[in-house]
Chain A
Amino acid sequence: MSAVNLRPELEIIQGWIKPSARILDLGCGDGQLLAFLYADRNVKGYGLEIDEEKIAECVRKGVNVIEQNLDGDLSNFADNSFDTVIMTQALQVMQQPDKVLAEMTRIGKEAIVTFPNFGHWKTRLFLGLKGMMPVSETLPYSWYNTPNIHLCTFKDFEALCEENQYRIMNRNVTDMYHNRGSWLSRRFPNLLGEIAVYRIKQHG
């Protein structure tokens, strides 16, 4: 997964979670978000993770964690069986992000997904001026060793949502330093937002 600090997104996600909700966190890492939501929102939830070190950390925190690969089959989770399915900073490492999104909106009444925005002005500038694949604080890898195999921009993501008829309920942008909600980034999110935080659901 990318080395992005979760903190700036946490507050946004927290605000969208109802108390006592049933939460599934795909690629839950060390369980930081779930542990926070257990305490703050009294949610019931599970995380899916494949890194055994991180699984061990979840277990130590008392976070329910299931070793399961998100690129594999998620059919063990029933339709609409969770209030919210969350995936933070993992969409871009999926083999088939569109399939994972379809599963998220099937399993959850709503889904929250966050990813680094490849359309951010710094990324554009890096590629435009240097002519090399962008490396930044949000995207710290080189092209040959990056786990981020499916990067996209806000616009790309929204096009996919439209194609699959997902309703975008909320969209937020943030950067590494918690600066969100400035009028400028609201006006030009695809240019000024480093991290996208979307809340979506299936139509109907």
Chain B
Amino acid sequence: MTDTIAADSVGIVTPQTVHFDQKIELECSKFLPAYDLVYESYGELNASKNNAVLICHALSSHHHAAGYHSTEDTKPGWWENCIGPGKAIDTNKFFVVCPNNLGGCHGSTGPSSINPETKRPWGSDFPMMTVKDWVKVQARLADYLGISCWAAVIGGSLGGMQVLQWSIDFPERLKNAVVIASTPKLSAQNIAFNEVARQAILSDPNFHQGHYYQYDTYPKQGLILARMVGHITYLSDDAMRTKFGRDLQSGKFHFGFDVEFQVESYLRHQGEMFSKNFDANTYLLMTKALDYFDPAREFNGDLRLALKNALCKFLVISFTTDWRFSSERSQDIVNTLLLENKNVSYADIDAPQGHDSFLMPIPRYIKIFKNYMDRVHDELNMEGKV
């Protein structure tokens, strides 16, 4: 339980659910006849409805980006460091919207939802989702909220991919794109790690071809393993060395396979916690969405062509110790935007925390991010005066 809520927190928030009765055609050629989308919002939409900001979430997160659901909550939303009054994404200035993507497991329609045809959970019959599909759904949410153009679309990691896709698919519906710790496509190594994670889940005896809900069980061990391997890629070698080194739990070797090194204990704990809160089918689906992401593919593999029609300004941020989506991948995006003469700023933040840096309150990162967003807000005001 949290004793006091910080003054720079959005405080207690309540998620909203929108039901869409409009069928959605998906990239995999399947469709959903109807679906629910859960989202949170912080701050106020102004009269001209031009101060809205969309937050796109990453692989294992959801719509709860900031604040607390109740005073009983021990932890705030996943991007509390960046969203709130006076923060980089200042809720005194912006109306901030964060939906849980379709296929998720936190309230939006996903594999654990009931398939209206079979009256049973979708399980592995839930259609495969792509970044492009999510962006399409987010655009429908914008329509529903009466937002014709976002002041900014913002995301880290898989969220950053959605931001890029927004700039390509709906160039007139965003003024700014903030792409953090992301990449224009996954490398073979990235896909390889995802495949290990998937195999851990798929080979768990409790997976039951994805229909484990019916057996009142779930592939817990597989999910734990998937998260453990994923988690290693989120941290840098340095961060792990600093945090755990070779420290032992009890100070001596036991010559067995129980937890001995602190890093083992940490990974097992992270896996265990994750397995209690995340659906295995959603994890499978999200990792595939990562693998499939490659907006250049529709343009003969030419990212320049893909980004040619983008109209927004871009802020691209990477972190020096991120080896999952390294600085070079962000520079690929930046250099393409430069060749296409787009408005772009780029910072490569020197930080030891690896891929997870984008979630952390690193002063230089936050300053650049906040300055950019303050400028976005100034430009909204300038626009109002013309």
Contacts of B372 in A (CB 8 A): 59-60
Is A122 an interface residue, CB under 8 A from the partner?
A: no
| A44: nearest chain-B partner, CB-CB | B341
Q: Are B344 and A60 in contact (CB under 8 A)?
A: no
Give the contacting residue for B345; candidates A64, A77, A81; CB below 8 A.
A64
Chain A binding surface, main DSSP class: mixed
Chain B binding surface, main DSSP class: helix
Give the contacting residue for A66; candidates B334, B341, B368; CB below 8 A.
B334
Contacts of A81 in B (CB 8 A): 339
Q: Are B371 and A57 in contact (CB under 8 A)?
A: yes
Minimum CB–CB distance from A69 to chain B (whole Å) comes to 10
Contact with A along B297-321 (1 / 0, CB 8 A): 0000000000000000001000000
Q: Are B331 and A60 in contact (CB under 8 A)?
A: no
Q: Are B379 and A55 in contact (CB under 8 A)?
A: no
Contact with B along A57-94 (1 / 0, CB 8 A): 11111111111100000001110010000000000000
C-alpha gap A44/B344 in the complex (Å): 11
Contacts of B331 in A (CB 8 A): 76
| A55: nearest chain-B partner, CB-CB | B347
Minimum CB–CB distance from A81 to chain B (whole Å) comes to 8
Minimum CB–CB distance from B307 to chain A (whole Å) comes to 15
Give the contacting residue for A56; candidates B343, B348, B364, B378; CB below 8 A.
B364
Contact with A along B69-113 (1 / 0, CB 8 A): 000000000000000000000000000000000000000000000
Q: Are B347 and A78 in contact (CB under 8 A)?
A: no
Contact with A along B346-367 (1 / 0, CB 8 A): 1111100000000000001001
Q: A56-B368, A76-B335, A78-B339 are in contact. Are A66 and B344 (CB under 8 A)?
A: yes
Q: Are A62 and B339 in contact (CB under 8 A)?
A: no
> Which positions in A face B, CB cutoff 8 Å?
22, 44, 46, 52-53, 55-68, 76-78, 81
Can you give 9 A-B contacts (C-beta < 8 A)?
A: A44-B341, A59-B345, A60-B371, A64-B343, A64-B344, A66-B346, A67-B347, A76-B331, A76-B335
